[in-house]
């Protein structure tokens, strides 16, 4: 089996080769045959993602603020644009109830993996973007540079359609569930 790898992805080319008739299709490959390398973070949870998130150097000042806030006020944490789940995992590792919203399919695979390797099945993940009205919209860019604003990160050649909802809809659903228990 031929393998190409980097810090957090290993592509299984022979499997992709069988699916695409001998030609490696990286679009299919990225979506289906990616193994995510997870590492223990300084915060005590295991995470797949960029090395700077795994080693705790990502947004150090912001991370400290969020951790301190959650220590003293943390019953709920809402993560709009959760990316690969860095802050989602930090909050959940502190036994905080978490709701994460992330529209990018590739990032969602990291979130799902990160929740799974830590045996956290109680985080609510919404695979969509937030807007002023429900619908669909174009998401430009990739990874942490993804945005609904064209040319925001200079990567607008990468784009895909994603579903949208509103914060009002998510909050009403959450309040209703808290009141009824469902």
User: Which residue, among 55, 102, 61, has the nearest Cα to 83 in the 3D structure?
Assistant: 102
Secondary structure of residue 37 in the 3-state scheme: coil
The confidence score (pLDDT) of residue 9 equals 36
State pLDDT tens for residues 59-103.
999 999 999 999 998 889 999 999 999 999 999 999 999 999 999
**Is residue 58 exposed (0-12), middle (13-18) or buried (19+ Cβ within 10 Å)?**
middle
Q: What are phi and psi of 168, to 5 degrees?
A: -55, -45
Q: Where are the domains of the chain?
A: 1-35, 36-180
The confidence score (pLDDT) of residue 182 equals 52
36-180 belongs to which CATH class? alpha beta
CA dihedral 43, 46, 49, 52 (to 10 degrees): 30
Residue 156, pLDDT > 50, answer yes
Residue 139, pLDDT > 50, answer yes
Full-model pTM: 0.75
Max CA pair span of the chain: 56
- Average confidence score pLDDT of the chain: 79
């Amino acid at each position: 089996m031929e393998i190409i790898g980097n810090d957090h992805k290993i592509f299984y080319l022979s499997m992709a080769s069988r699916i695409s008739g001998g030609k490696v299709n990286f679009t299919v490959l990225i979506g289906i045959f990616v193994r995510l390398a997870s590492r223990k973070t300084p915060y005590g949870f295991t995470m797949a993602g960029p090395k700077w998130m795994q080693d705790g150097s990502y947004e150090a000042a912001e991370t400290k603020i969020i951790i301190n806030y959650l220590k003293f006020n943390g019953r709920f944490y809402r993560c709009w644009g959760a990316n690969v789940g860095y802050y989602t995992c930090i909050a959940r590792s502190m036994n905080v109830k978490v709701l994460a919203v992330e529209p990018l399919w590739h990032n969602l695979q990291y979130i799902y993996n990160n929740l799974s390797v830590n045996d956290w099945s109680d985080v609510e993940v919404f695979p969509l973007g937030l807007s002023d009205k429900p619908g669909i919209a174009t998401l430009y860019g990739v990874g942490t540079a993804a945005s609904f604003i064209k040319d925001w990160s200079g990567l607008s050649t990468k784009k895909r359609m994603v579903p949208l909802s509103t914060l009002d809809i998510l909050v009403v659903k959450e309040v209703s569930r808290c009141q009824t228990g469902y």
